Amino acid sequence: MKKTLLNLFGFISLLALNTSCDFVNDANPPLTPSNSGGSSGGSSGGSGIGTPVVYRKVLVEDYTGHKCGNCPAAADELKTLETQYTGKIVPLAIHAGFFANTNATYPTNLKSTAGTAYDTQFGISAAGNPNGLVNRVGYGAASFIKAYTSWGTEVYQMISQTAKFQIKIKNTFNSSTNSLNTDVTVKSLASNLGTYKLVVLLSEDSIIAEQLDYRKPTGQQLIPDYEFNHVLRGAINSEWGDPIFLSGAAANDSVVKSYNNFSINASYRPAKCHVIAYVYDAASTSPTYYEILQVEEKHVK
């Protein structure tokens, strides 16, 4: 009888110990790195207890054109980076300049007013394609325009940086009117001096059209059914954006910008479209003028 009581006591003690351990693990789960996507506005991670760190995301702009035979290689590099750094970069293909002009052989127009404005301001196609920008770092310097072979190195250096801002996007699409309402919340994560603006863009994936590719054999270089992704379709607010913090921002300051009844072109497919929102340094006297400090994207529907 005594042995039975001892065994019963040991079983109850073991059960209590296991229950206690489960409770502790559930109450204090370790924080592990995760990708936020457009809903939470930044990758977070860390260990122990505390507020997750929001990391900087990277806008990679591929300036391109359907008559640029070297440009498909840059598009492939962007696709590789998108896979390698899932949730940490926002790709954007900007069709602008001579190589994006249309003619009888290349009738599909993928240019946009916003894309032309960026190309003109930053002089990308004038320098030659394929080229691009990575968070628009280094405006005014000789190294501002980046060859696609260097995009990966640039991205790697930025994704571990703590973000100065957090962006959240909320989209509501009305299929009966083909219109979009988008609310963008920007939160300052630190004390930031200067002037900052918010730009909200529309992009589209999976556009099938003609593209020249010099990697193909002679006679097969014109691809009639090439798939274009991340194509800039235009600005939802304006190409240079709206001011959000005109004289700096204190930590935890936030602002919400709402853009209602934006009409999506009937030829675009909303299910393939994204809203892209980014905050940039808008102070012309700043050493980081035009630099993008945070970016997010989210499906329209």
The confidence score (pLDDT) of residue 49 equals 55
C-beta of residue 91 within 8 angstroms of C-beta of residue 62: yes
Residue 289 lies in a domain: yes
The amino acid at residue 9 is F
Query: What is the total count of domains within the chain?
Result: 1
Rounded Cα–Cα distance for residues 252 and 275 (Å): 24
Task: Going from the first residue of the chain to its last (301 residues), give the mean pLDDT of each consecutive group of 10, the final group possibly shorter.
Answer: 43 40 29 38 48 93 98 97 96 97 97 98 93 97 96 97 98 96 97 96 98 96 98 97 95 97 96 98 96 98 91
Asked if residue 34 is part of any domain, the answer here is: no
Q: Judge contact between 172 and 181, C-beta under 8 A.
A: yes
What's 149's domain CATH number? 2.60.40.10
Give the residue numbers spanning the domain of 83. 51-299
> Residue 290: inside a domain, yes or no?
yes
Which residue, among 99, 109, 59, 64, has the nearest Cα to 265 in the 3D structure?
109
Look at residue 9 in the predicted model and tell me its pLDDT. 43
- pLDDT at site 107: 98
Which parts of the chain are beta strand (E)? 58-64, 89-95, 131-134, 165-174, 179-188, 196-204, 207-212, 222-228, 231-235, 242-245, 254-263, 273-281, 292-299
* Cβ–Cβ under 8 Å, residues 228 and 263: no
For 108, counting Cβ atoms within 10 Å of its Cβ (0-12 exposed, 13-18 middle, 19+ buried), the class is: middle
Q: Has residue 46 been placed in a domain? A: no
- Does residue 22 form part of some domain? no
Q: Is residue 185 part of a domain?
A: yes
Between strands 242-245 and 196-204, the pairing is antiparallel
Q: Is residue 266 part of a domain?
A: yes
Residue 221 CB partners (closer than 8 Å, separation 6+): 69, 212, 213, 214
Q: Is 13 within a domain?
A: no
